[in-house]
Amino acid sequence: MAEAALRIEGLSKSFGGLVATDNLHLAIESGEIHAIIGPNGAGKTTLVAQLAGELKPNAGQVIFAGRDITRLTMPARAALGLARSYQITSVLLNFTAEDNVALAAQAVAGHSFRFWRPARSDPALRQPAREVLAQIGLAERADTLAANLSHGEQRQLEIAMALATRPSLLLLDEPMAGMGREESGRMVALLESLKGRHTILLIEHDMDAVFALADRITVLVYGRAIATGRPDEIRNNDEVRQAYLGEEAIDA
């Protein structure tokens, strides 16, 4: 078997007495969309923070593209090709949409200690930024300040910024958060279009979206993975049904 895109081995994190991640083992295969679901308090956000490098785990390892990144800082992980989007929209509000994406493109365009040439007229940044904006469906909004974008558009911009860093792994933390039905639909279509081109780790509450998109699903409960499998396997897993109680959520 080829080396997994991301391997999590024995990852543990606790806050005082509260165990948020409990000896978690997980392998994300290259090219798949792997969704992580779980009831509130399952430790999804804590997991994302540990993968992205915002939180240090108490134990365990994170192996990304065959390399142990457990001790690396957030920027160092990003530089290796691990991009993330935020659950709470986290774009640069006083930058235009294009400037946001161009900045992300700049992050992979080598070091940024260039002091003199104007960045705004630099085709090496503008070109990829426009391409990503077009891909994501925000081309007409390129010159709009991020603050003036609608919530749905800001969520799209989040993804665009992650994509512009040309990542090998996308870590998407609830991309549908706070979206209406129509907006969610568009986001699902967008993620669908990324399928196969990027490895995606998707944390999401919207079960319709998860079951429509995911190649494999892992169910997280109290920081432990109680099941991993194809969507139909997860749907029919008794333990999962019990953990969720609200079975209709999965049936829906």
Partner 1 sequence: MDRRQILVAVIGLALFALVPPLAGIFDQPFYVDMFARIMIFAIAAVSLDLILGYGGMVSFGHAAYIGVGAYAVGILSYYGIDNGFVQFPVAIAAAALIALVFGLMSLRTTGVYFIMITLAFAQMLYFLGISLEEFGGDDGMPAYRSEFAGLIDLTDADQFYYLVFAFLVAALVVTHRLIHSRFGAVVRGAKANERRMQAMGFPTYRYKLAAFTIAGTMCGIAGALFANWNEFVSPDAMHWTRSGEIMIMVIMGGMGTLIGPVLGATGLLLLEEYLPEWMEALIAGTGEHWMVVMGPILIAIVLFGRGGIYALFARRGGDDG
Q: Is 78 in the site for partner 1 (CB under 8 A)?
A: yes
Contact at 8 Å (CB) between 12 and 59? yes
- Number of residues in contact with partner 1, rule: CB under 8 A? 37
**Residue closer to partner 1, measured from CB, 65 or 108:** 108
How far apart are CB 79 and partner 1 at their closest, in Å? Answer: 5
CA 250 vs. chain centroid, Å, equals 21
Site for partner 1 in 38-67 (CB under 8 A): 52, 54
Cα 122 to Cα 134: distance, rounded to the nearest angstrom: 18
**Residue closer to partner 1, measured from CB, 122 or 215:** 122
Q: Is 159 in the site for partner 1 (CB under 8 A)?
A: no
Cα 159 to Cα 148: distance, rounded to the nearest angstrom: 17
C-alpha dist (Å) from residue 81 to 70, 99, 133, 175, 191 = 15, 20, 19, 19, 18
Q: Is 84 in the site for partner 1 (CB under 8 A)?
A: yes
Of the candidates 169, 9, 202, 198, the one whose C-alpha atom is nearest the C-alpha of residue 87 is 202
**Pattern 89-128, binding to partner 1, x per CB under 8 A?**
-xxxxxx---x--xxx-xxx---xxxxxxxxx-x--x---
Site residues, partner 1 (CB under 8 A): 52, 54, 73-76, 78-79, 83-84, 86, 90-95, 99, 102-104, 106-108, 112-120, 122, 125, 161, 165
